[in-house]
Amino acid sequence: MSLVARHAALTDIGLHRSTNEDAFVAEPPLFAVADGMGGAQAGEVASRLALDSLVEALAAADDLPAAADAANQAVYGQSRSDRSRSGMGTTLTAVRLSDDGLRFVHVGDSRLYLWRDERLTQVTDDHSLVGEMVRSGHLTRAAAASHPQRSILSRALGTEPGVEIDSGAVELRAGDALLLCTDGLYSMVTDETVAAVLAAVDDPARVARRLVSEAKSGGGHDNITVIVLRLDEVTADRDGASDGPEAAAEGATAVLPAVGDEPATAALPVVGGQAPATEPEPATAPGPATESEPATATEPENEPDGAGSAEPDDSESPEGGEEAAPPAAPRRRRRLWLVVIVAVVLAVCVAGGVAASSVYYVGDYDGMVSVYHGLPFTVAGVKLYDLYLETTTPVAGLSPGVRATVERHDLHRKAAALDLARRAQGLP
């Protein structure tokens, strides 16, 4: 029996982010989603680069796990060679359809679902801390859904020179549907709702739009990306019709694309074009808030400032005290000051390096309550902090008191910083 797939893909910035770090590929028989991470546009770069590398590697050799490995190396390589992208990474969930079903590769917390016989099954495991806890029986699936650390990944593509990549295969039947999505969907929409939409709506494009709008009405805290596939049996005359395009795409492969209205579906991302229309109000609010972060970076200037204000104090005393050797004293003072300043700068650098390795603080990343590892300073253009965890709770929505604690950037040990972030989100 031959199957034919109708598909639709859609990505949306959501209601709170200022950038869309998700990316997708919908080039039958390959479908993939990627959710990038890393500050300063690095997330966007990581997800796009991973998918481009995957496509390129597949064009050279028909080996999906090897292609995912190549994508890992491409992202890792760029993060090593470009300092501003250091530490970037991405999730990757990709499926490739063929005669006998699908093969998939997967790293991170994006998901592949199979809809069959009116039931929704998650095919992939979430490579997140809470995902591991659920699998080891330490957390229920329901508790995981609202866990404050649910966005910490235990595995990502591009953050290490080598990564363990899950892969597998699923036999497909007529009537099956597949859903690939980033966490921006399932963190806002329950599996029950997803199942209800798949049960009620046949057309993949309409399913995709409905799911994205459900995620937005559920809060839209993150970027949302969905790819929906419907598998139908090929009828006798249609079989003939589908042979042509397939032959072009996949040689002997009997399955896949070939549906006439696909182009219309492919044009769907235009809906992504609607995003800017919805985005302005909330998205611009967190935006500037993020820019206030670098303002934190000016904090170190307080130190030199403080030192500077001590100088007049000191230079007053020679004036008042001695008149005997006026030329010598100021010079010695000046040299002394130079020594003091150099010592302070050295101390700050050393202490910064040491402290940054064990200290965390809560702040704002892209408008969301987030936890940083390190110190909230930039010294001579070098950031002393790294984004450790981003939540989906907007800082703008916090009560003034809680918001003040987030904006104060007090330093904590890791557990205390995570605890503060949890409380800021109103979680127990």
Q: Which residues bind Mn ion (CB under 5 A)?
A: 35, 182-184, 222
If the CB atoms of residues 224 and 234 are measured against Mn ion, the closer one turns out to be 224
φ, ψ for residue 97 (rounded to 5)?
-90, 145
Minimum CB separation from Mn ion for residue 183, in Å? 4
CB 246 within 8 A of CB 253: yes
CB 274 within 8 A of CB 213: no
Minimum CB separation from Mn ion for residue 21, in Å? 7
Contacts of 293 (CB under 8 A, 6+ apart): 363, 364, 365
If the CB atoms of residues 222 and 366 are measured against Mn ion, the closer one turns out to be 222
φ, ψ for residue 211 (rounded to 5)?
-65, -40
If the CB atoms of residues 187 and 242 are measured against Mn ion, the closer one turns out to be 187
If the CB atoms of residues 28 and 184 are measured against Mn ion, the closer one turns out to be 184
CB 373 within 8 A of CB 385: yes
If the CB atoms of residues 126 and 176 are measured against Mn ion, the closer one turns out to be 126
Minimum CB separation from Mn ion for residue 224, in Å? 8
Minimum CB separation from Mn ion for residue 92, in Å? 13
Minimum CB separation from Mn ion for residue 335, in Å? 55
DSSP bridge partners of 116: 119
Minimum CB separation from Mn ion for residue 222, in Å? 4
If the CB atoms of residues 182 and 296 are measured against Mn ion, the closer one turns out to be 182
Minimum CB separation from Mn ion for residue 369, in Å? 15
CB 236 within 8 A of CB 32: no
Minimum CB separation from Mn ion for residue 55, in Å? 21
The separation between the first and the last C-alpha atoms of the chain, rounded to the nearest angstrom, is 53
- Residue 411's CB is within 10 A of a number of other CB atoms, namely 17
If the CB atoms of residues 102 and 283 are measured against Mn ion, the closer one turns out to be 283
Minimum CB separation from Mn ion for residue 35, in Å? 4
If the CB atoms of residues 182 and 391 are measured against Mn ion, the closer one turns out to be 182
If the CB atoms of residues 111 and 230 are measured against Mn ion, the closer one turns out to be 111
94 vs 289: CA distance, rounded Å:
35
